[in-house]
Amino acid sequence: MNVLVAYASRHGATRGIAERIATALGEAGISAEAKPVDQVRTLDPYDAFVIGSAAYMFHWLREATAFVKRHHSLLFHRPVWLFSSGPLGTELVDDKGQDILETTRPREFNELSALIHP
């Protein structure tokens, strides 16, 4: 299996996460490489995808969203995992008692998931 870990990063943290994911997959015997979404020319060599973006104000970076939308017809037929990174702080619940991980989910996730997951 050959996995592409594609990412959009503003300050480098998401790039670091993507690189760690690719390294962990490699250590597990799965061929994987991390690339910025704007440097990916073709998806043909890949069997599966991990796609991530920095998230600010509940939104993925535009280039990551555009990447998934542009390639959704191919991604729909292959395994895909989406991730985001961004400033959350240290609390597990917000001031209303809601789970931070749920309330900070990027707004694009529902739309993009519908495009790529049957």
pLDDT(107) > 70: no
1-30 pLDDT per residue, tens = 999 999 999 999 999 999 999 999 999 999
CATH number of residue 51's parent domain:
3.40.50.360
Residue with more model confidence, 118 or 17:
17
- Domain with 48, as residue range(s), is 2-116
Task: Give the C-alpha separation, 22 to 35, whole Å.
Answer: 10
Residue with more model confidence, 63 or 114:
63
Q: What's the number of domains the chain is made of?
A: 1
- How far out from the chain centre does Cα 57 lie? 16
Task: Give the C-alpha separation, 82 to 80, whole Å.
Answer: 7
40-86 pLDDT per residue, tens = 999 999 999 999 999 887 789 999 999 999 999 999 999 999 999 87
Instruction: Please give the pLDDT value at position 111.
Output: 72
Instruction: Please give the pLDDT value at position 12.
Output: 93
Instruction: Please give the pLDDT value at position 96.
Output: 75
Instruction: Please give the pLDDT value at position 102.
Output: 63
Model confidence pTM above 0.95: no
Which regions of 1-118 does DSSP assign to beta strands (E)? Answer: 2-8, 31-36, 48-56, 59-60, 80-85
